[in-house]
């Protein structure tokens, strides 16, 4: 790796392959500067992008950050975002190796993450087989909107290693839950050509989500099934496999197609449309 | 490499290292949708980012694209940007392997480029030595503003191989000219701990730039020395080296510090401040 003074970074890839993904977070869409500090925004951005690498069963090694900020943005905010990104990267065993800073009317953080498979095969979305167990691992707790949940929104807890241990435990398919659990399980179902059954009684619910949903008269189950803000990985494991720490079985893979919840096809909106 | 359906792409890196860089282009700052088609925007974004990899002496292998667009953006514009990115990537021997699409109030294209050194050592900014020849290779012609030059603005001509041939011809230092020729030569001077002399009579001037500057009563030399829009690489080569095709000698490296133009220290604004 070269320092920030060169045109590009050089990252070691002893595996002979590199895992690469990009995630863009936009002020007012994915975060709000009035709800979160720069450091928290940086940490969320790093975590969201690193989760995509973890979902392949790889370890994050390097981050590149494209930061766009309005003229007049306090230097301290930009520095704080950088600190947050770097802290989360270092916690995951990676580092920020490069970036681009430009002006824009909207604060935008584009994070590219490179990752290392360490000789293992990547876990794709297409490997689920009938009979497999469906499981989730929560990477961080959060909500998109209720003001009462701002505390939870702010604090990511990123056991990114959940992806790596899933891969080494024989996970047959894996995905980063970013569109909502059902929507993302649907992606596995389509890619693998299988049906997926979810049993809601098994969902590892966030007690704060249940509490806030109840206070607001909303359905906590629908939030848990369709919200994109509780950062998690979903994976399938062979029948009878011992799930690694951090993973909770929530259902099963069957022949067929589509996703069912407690035996019924899910007919609610499946997730959060980031582009809608 | 995996298809676009997985969380991350897998890119082969037989060299055991990967070159990585990110470049962000913002509507109204780096391009204007009323001056350029989506395809042209995509091509410019790909070229700008790939030039950073070329400036290390590496060949681009894979692009990841983070695209943010306002709600209501015509799908055709988004598709056209993607086509332009892919066309330019393929011309350079690379491909678009992943991306993220999200909404924002401002159309923003963040392009990450991965590159392969093919066993060669990266060409850094810090390797220039007194006695070296300073040279430039123009990657594409363009202007930032005059309406009369819209045609030139729109058409990138990307001989990105200029970076690779420079590396194999023994270039001692290299940089992507994005801040303006003098500003970027200044980066080499600082990193290498040397002085750089530029001889304006040797600059490979764009005839259209001379014509437009003259019509507008502006100084074409100042544009050539400080404009960031004529996309180029600058490099230093050992004294007596035969410059590879596409490269033009424009000066020399001396002991000392700073950049001089025709023997005098340059006291004009050194470049375009993307963040100002």
Q: Do B110 and A66 touch (CB under 8 A)?
A: yes
**3-state SS, residue A88:** helix
Query: Mind telling me how many Å the CA of B3 is from chain A's nearest CA?
Result: 10
Pick the residue with more confidence: A258 or B213?
A258
Query: Mind telling me how many Å the CA of B100 is from chain A's nearest CA?
Result: 6
Q: Dihedral of the CA atoms B211, B212, B214, B219 (nearest 10)? A: -110
Whether residue B168 contacts residue B242, with contact meaning beta carbons closer than 8 Å, is answered with: no
Confidence of residue A140 (pLDDT cuts 50, 70, 90): low
Pick the residue with more confidence: A6 or A68?
A68
CA distance B128 to B172: 5
pLDDT value at residue A142: 55
Residue with tokens 């995996």: B2
**The dihedral of CA B105, A147, A274, B8: what is its sign?**
positive
Q: Return the H-helix or E-strand segment holding B93.
A: none
Q: Do A104 and B101 touch (CB under 8 A)?
A: no
Confidence of residue A143 (pLDDT cuts 50, 70, 90): very low
Q: How many CB pairs under 8 A join A and B?
A: 228
Residue with tokens 């600059």: B203
Q: Which of B244, B224, B207, B195 is nearest to B54 (CA)?
A: B244
Mutate to test the interface with A, among B1, B3, B5, B8 (most CBs of A within 10 A): B8
Pull the structure tokens for residue B99.
């991306």
CA distance A46 to A50: 6
pLDDT value at residue B228: 52
Q: Do A10 and B18 touch (CB under 8 A)?
A: yes
pLDDT value at residue A240: 92
pLDDT value at residue B111: 97
Q: Do A106 and B108 touch (CB under 8 A)?
A: yes
DSSP label at residue A242: P
Pull the structure tokens for residue A63.
């981050």
Q: Which residues of B touch A167 (CB under 8 A)?
A: none
Q: Return the H-helix or E-strand segment holding B6.
A: none
Mutate to test the interface with B, among A32, A110, A188 (most CBs of B within 10 A): A110
Nearest by CB: A13 against B18, B25, B106: B18
Phi-psi region of B263 (alpha: psi -120 to 50; beta: other; left: phi over 0): left
pLDDT value at residue B213: 78
> Residue-wise over A39-55: b if at least 16 C-beta within 10 A, else e?
bbbbbbbbbbbbbbbbb
Residue with tokens 């600190």: A83
Mutate to test the interface with B, among A7, A104, A178, A186 (most CBs of B within 10 A): A7
Task: Say if the ipTM goes beyond 0.85.
Answer: no
> Residue-wise over A141-151: b if at least 16 C-beta within 10 A, else e?
bbbeebeebee
pLDDT value at residue B157: 46
CA distance B134 to A86: 36
Q: What angle do CA A226, A144, A156 make, to 5 degrees?
A: 100
Confidence of residue A270 (pLDDT cuts 50, 70, 90): low
Q: Which residues of A touch B29 (CB under 8 A)?
A: 102-104
Which pLDDT tens digit goes with each residue over A199-224?
Answer: 999 988 877 777 877 888 878 787 77
Q: Which of A86, A93, A208 is nearest to A141 (CA)?
A: A208
Residue A139 pLDDT more than 70? Answer: yes
Q: Which residues of A touch B163 (CB under 8 A)?
A: none
Please state, as a whole number, how many other Cβ atoms lie within 10 Å of the Cβ of residue B246: 18
Q: Which residues of A touch B15 (CB under 8 A)?
A: 13
Residue B67 pLDDT more than 60? Answer: yes
Q: Which of B131, B62, B120, B71 is nearest to B92 (CA)?
A: B62
DSSP label at residue B268: S
Phi-psi region of A240 (alpha: psi -120 to 50; beta: other; left: phi over 0): left
CA distance A250 to A247: 9
DSSP label at residue B31: B
Q: Do B10 and A65 touch (CB under 8 A)?
A: no
Q: Which of A226, A214, A133 is nearest to A183 (CA)?
A: A226
Which pLDDT tens digit goes with each residue over B4-39?
Answer: 568 899 999 999 999 999 999 999 988 888 888 999
* Of A113-127, B45-59, B145-159, minimum mean pLDDT range: B145-159
Q: Do A110 and B22 touch (CB under 8 A)?
A: yes
Residue B60 pLDDT more than 90? Answer: yes
Nearest by CB: B20 against A25, A97, A102: A97
Q: Do A19 and B9 touch (CB under 8 A)?
A: yes
Q: Do B11 and A26 touch (CB under 8 A)?
A: no
Q: Which of B166, B197, B274 is nearest to B229 (CA)?
A: B274
Q: Return the H-helix or E-strand segment holding B50.
A: helix B38-54
Query: Mind telling me how many Å the CA of B144 is from chain A's nearest CA?
Result: 16
B133, β-bridge pairs? B237, B252
Which pLDDT tens digit goes with each residue over A148-158?
Answer: 344 444 434 44
CA distance B103 to B97: 21
Q: What angle do CA A166, A168, A169 make, to 5 degrees?
A: 60
Which pLDDT tens digit goes with each residue over B227-241?
Answer: 755 678 999 999 999
Closest-CA residue of A relative to B98 is A21
Q: Which residues of B touch A7 (CB under 8 A)?
A: 21, 51-53, 55-56, 125, 174-176
Q: What is the mean pLDDT of chain B?
A: 86
Confidence of residue B175 (pLDDT cuts 50, 70, 90): very high
- Strands (E) across chain A are located at 9-12, 17-26, 59-69, 95-103, 108-116, 133-140, 173-177, 195-198, 231-237, 248-254, 258-261, 264-265
Q: Which of A202, A194, A198, A212 is nearest to A144 (CA)?
A: A212
pLDDT value at residue A31: 87
Residue B142 pLDDT more than 60? Answer: no
CA distance B57 to B54: 5
Which pLDDT tens digit goes with each residue over A70-126?
Answer: 999 999 999 999 999 999 999 999 999 999 999 999 999 999 999 999 999 999 999
CA distance A137 to B150: 52
Q: Do B11 and A20 touch (CB under 8 A)?
A: yes
Please state, as a whole number, how many other Cβ atoms lie within 10 Å of the Cβ of residue A1: 14
pLDDT value at residue A268: 57
Residue B130 pLDDT more than 90? Answer: yes
A234, β-bridge pairs? A136, A175
Pick the residue with more confidence: A195 or A270?
A195
Average pLDDT over residues B46-72: 94
Average pLDDT over residues A28-56: 91
Which pLDDT tens digit goes with each residue over B93-127?
Answer: 999 999 999 999 999 999 999 999 999 999 999 99
Q: Which of A267, A236, A265 is nearest to A253 (CA)?
A: A236
Q: Which residues of A touch B100 (CB under 8 A)?
A: 22-24, 110
Q: Do B26 and A103 touch (CB under 8 A)?
A: yes
Closest-CA residue of B relative to A121 is B10
Q: Do B103 and A29 touch (CB under 8 A)?
A: yes
Mutate to test the interface with A, among B5, B22, B30, B94 (most CBs of A within 10 A): B22
Which pLDDT tens digit goes with each residue over A157-205?
Answer: 446 889 999 999 999 999 998 878 999 999 999 999 999 999 999 988 8
């Amino acid at each position: 790796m070269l320092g920030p003074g060169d045109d590009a970074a050089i990252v070691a890839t002893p595996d002979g392959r590199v895992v690469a993904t990009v995630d863009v977070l936009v002020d007012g869409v994915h975060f709000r500067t009035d709800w979160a500090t720069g450091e928290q925004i940086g940490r969320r951005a790093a975590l969201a992008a690193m989760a995509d690498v973890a979902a392949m069963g790889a370890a994050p090694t390097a981050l590149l950050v494209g930061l766009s900020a309005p003229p007049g943005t306090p230097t301290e905010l930009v520095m704080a975002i950088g600190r947050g990104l770097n802290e989360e990267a270092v916690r995951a065993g990676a580092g920020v190796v490069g970036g681009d800073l430009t002006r824009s009317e909207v604060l935008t953080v584009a994070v590219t993450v490179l990752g290392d498979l360490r000789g293992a095969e990547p876990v794709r979305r297409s490997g689920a087989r009938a009979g497999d167990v469906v499981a989730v691992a929560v990477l961080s707790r959060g909500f998109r909107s209720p003001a009462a949940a701002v505390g939870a929104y702010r604090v990511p807890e990123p056991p990114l290693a959940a992806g790596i241990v899933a891969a080494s435990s024989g996970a047959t398919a894996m995905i980063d839950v970013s569109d909502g659990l059902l929507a993302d399980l649907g992606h596995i179902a389509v890619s693998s050509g299988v049906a997926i059954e979810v049993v809601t009684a098994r969902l590892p619910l966030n007690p704060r989500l249940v509490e806030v949903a109840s206070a607001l008269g909303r359905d906590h189950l629908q939030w848990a099934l369709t919200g994109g803000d509780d950062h998690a990985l979903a994976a399938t494991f062979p029948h009878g496999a011992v799930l690694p720490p951090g993973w909770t079985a929530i259902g099963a893979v069957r022949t067929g197609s589509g996703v069912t919840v407690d035996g019924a096809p899910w007919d609610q909106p499946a997730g959060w449309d980031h582009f809608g």
